[in-house]
Structure 1
Amino acid sequence: MTKFGDLINVEMPVLIDFYAQWSEEEEETGVVLNDVVAALGDKAKVMKIDIAKNETLVNALKVKANPTFLIYKNGELKWRQSGEQDANTLIAMVQQYV
């Protein structure tokens, strides 16, 4: 199992979606993230973390809402936003750190 620090301590931006599998918005967020991945290609990493399966991490990062998006670069938190986001917003945010 990979440690969270290893995932975020990279030179490229890392967009993380903290989500709940049971959420009605999950399917829509998945489509949005697919668009983000397609637009960014190998310029950034995009990952999803299930809040129910990662409670210790969720508590450590104080994730309170679903979904919550975070962008890290070189292990440093650059941006955080809770609530639904559209693909263009997420792409623009990540591109600031490419």
Structure 2
Amino acid sequence: MGATSVVTDANFVSDVLQSDRPVLVDFWAEWCAPCRKVDMLLEEIASEMGDAVRIVKLNIDENPETTRAYRVMSAPTLTVFKGGEPVQSIVGARPKSDLVKLIETAL
């Protein structure tokens, strides 16, 4: 059973780009109300799909290097990485089915 975890500028390369599994990165912020809705859905998805994908959260206010590197302009932005490369992104709160489809693009 999976759970979401936290990544930072310091461990983004090792935890996301060098991961042997696809990784969904939730670029979020404390002040972002839609981020809280997405967070609950991601916890559900992590427990259901945790063996196939890793789900991590990166606070955009506390991690400006990674946020800039991937040109994140809005929160939440959800990006799937596979093999060290971003595969697909969506911006804004979406239904669970959309999040699952996003993850499935990297499986």
Unaligned runs of 5+ residues in structure 1 are none
Q: 1:4 aligns with which of 12, 15, 26?
A: 12
- Aligned residues: CA RMSD: 1.6
Which stretch of the first structure deviates more once superposed, 50-59 or 87-96? 87-96
Q: What is the aligned-residue identity percentage?
A: 23
Structure 2: gaps (5+ residues) = 1-7
1:32-47 matches, within 5 Å, as: 32-47=41-56
Instruction: Confirm or deny that 1:65 pairs with 2:74.
Output: yes
Aligned to 2:83: 74
Q: Which residue of 2 aligns with 1:55?
A: 64
Deviates more, 1:49-58 or 1:24-33: 24-33
Contact 2:89–2:102, Cα closer than 8 Å, also in 1: no
With normalisation by structure 1, the TM-score equals 0.88
Q: 1:38-90 CA distances to partner (integer Å, 9 max, x unpaired)? A: 22121110011001100121111110011101000110111111111222111
In the alignment, which residue of structure 2 is the partner of 1:94? 103
Moved over 6 A (4+): none
How far 1:6 moved relative to its partner? Answer: 1.4
